[in-house]
Amino acid sequence: MEPKPWRDRIRDEDELLAQLNRAASEAADRRAEALLEGVADLGTIADVSRDLGVSWNAVDKAIKKYERKKATGTGATTE
């Protein structure tokens, strides 16, 4: 059996990368929603970050990125 031509392999890998980008974007959205639930439960972003043992900035950035994406109504990912 001959190996796939390089153009076909590139096309296949490009599709796989696109699928992975979509999956990562969807996971980031679900994570941000969970972070927002944490804020509703604990009261502040700082409380959530302390509870999770991550930086306040990381929690804040994840939530803001999600809210901007939701406000613009785009599901676009960067490649």
State the chain's maximal CA–CA distance in angstroms. 61
Q: What is the pTM of this model?
A: 0.80
How far apart CA 39 and CA 2 sit, in angstroms, is: 56
Q: Which domain holds residue 35?
A: 29-72
The count of domains in the chain is 1
* 1 within domain boundaries: no
User: Is residue 62, in this structure, part of any structural domain at all?
Assistant: yes
Task: Answer yes or no: is 44 within a domain.
Answer: yes
Q: Which of 25, 31, 23 is nearest to 62 (CA)?
A: 31
pLDDT in tens, the chain (79 residues): 889 999 999 999 999 999 999 999 999 999 999 999 999 999 999 999 999 999 999 999 999 999 999 999 865 555 4
* E strand residue ranges, the chain: none
